[in-house]
Amino acid sequence: MSNFHQPVDAAEVPRFAGHATFMRLPAVPTPEGLDIALVGIPWDGGTTNRAGTRHGPREIRNQSSLMRRVHHVTRVSPFEIANIADVGDVSVNPIDVLDALKRIEAGIAAIVAAGAVPLAAGGDHLTSLPSLRAVAKARPVGLIHFDAHSDTNDTYFGGNPYTHGTPFRRAIEEGLVDPQRFVQIGIRGSIYDGDEHAWAAAQGVRIIYMEEFVRRGPADVMAEVRRIVGDAPAYVTFDIDSIDPSMAPGTGTPEIGGFTTREAQEMLRLLAGIDIVGADVVEVSPPFDLAGMTALAGATVMFELMCVIAANIAARRAR
């Protein structure tokens, strides 16, 4: 344990000093030897409305300097029980979508090959597709998807299959995600023609609209999520626009009527014990943010996910 990477102590070097890395952990050149690799995907080439998520990882790193060592509810101390570091950003191509998808997949695949769990900061939501291609190479995974949007549209702009509104349709078509173990939480807002939701539901995807979430509350909803996903490997994807724009305005496609940050935290803690083989936080767009509040929400979601994943790894090691 003493060999595990540790964050810089804020009592020695203040939080605002030095180079920003995720959680103030060391930046390491490779994922070898890590349990969890924190990685940035600075890309917004799949964005259909206002852009800027290419700047997400850098600002999430900055705001993550506020994260401390111990989770105040679960008392998980992730850096004591798992080896975690910042592996930098994956290679991207800001002017070529197909090449970017290949580069992102290769970057995440290197983490998977090293035996580490990738925990990524996007990037727009299309970045989840190449991440799933890397994580689900051997078998389809379950998917727990927090979002205002279903992201299961077919095509945009004259038949283009790759935008941040289409990743999970592609992921099902490519056999990366088992639609029977796929649940979406927080879906709301106006839709194009109803096809995306109808298509997803026809595949077996469980769509929990925001209105149902409000009626039932986090504990009941997450109990159902656990039943749907079961014990097999699952990926968690958190679109920051699932949170209400009053608390997370810095995003490309805001929808009113969203989760509070507190509801989001409560749900994330209830992921404990689920076999999470990869996760991401996407759609943080710093140019539209106010006072860093959306990037702070993104960094905190990352911390919550990191604590759950680290506790899982430690429990597996102890068995």
Site residues (vs Mn ion, CB under 5 A): 125, 147-149, 151, 239, 241
Return the number of the residue (34 or 141) whose C-beta is nearest Mn ion. Answer: 141
> Which of helix, strand or coil describes residue 20?
coil
Nearer to Mn ion, 151 or 178 (CB): 151
Q: How far is CA 70 from CA 39, 219, 272, 282, in A?
A: 21, 23, 16, 24
| Residue nearer to Mn ion on the CB measure, 55 or 125 | 125
CB of 278 to Mn ion, least distance (A): 16
Collapsed DSSP state (helix, strand, coil) of residue 69: coil
> Cβ closer to Mn ion: 103 or 149?
149
In this structure, the chain runs to a length of 319
Burial of 318 (0-12, 13-18, 19+ CB in 10 A): exposed
Q: What are phi and psi of 140, to 5 degrees?
A: -65, 150
What is the rounded CA–CA span in Å between residue 151 and residue 196? 8
Name the minimum Å distance from CB 241 to Mn ion: 4
Q: Give me the least distance between CB of 84 and Mn ion, in Å please.
A: 26
- Could you count the other beta carbons within 10 Å of the beta carbon of residue 261? 17
Of the two residues 89 and 241, which places its CB atom closer to Mn ion in the complex?
A: 241
Four-point Cα dihedral 310, 313, 132, 231, nearest 10: -120
Q: Toward Mn ion, which CB reaches closer, 21 or 237? A: 237
Query: Toward Mn ion, which CB reaches closer, 196 or 241?
Result: 241
Cβ 55 to Mn ion shortest distance, Å: 17
What's the closest the beta carbon of residue 148 comes to Mn ion, in angstroms? 5
Q: How far is the CB of 50 from Mn ion (least distance, A)?
A: 13
To the nearest whole angstrom, how small is the minimum distance from the Cβ of residue 30 to Mn ion?
Answer: 30
Integer Cα distance of 68 and 317 in angstroms:
24
**Lookup: tokens for 71:** 């989770």
Closest by Cα among 76, 71, 165 to 124: 165
Neighbours of 262 (CB within 10 A): 10
CA of residue 106 relative to chain centroid, distance: 18
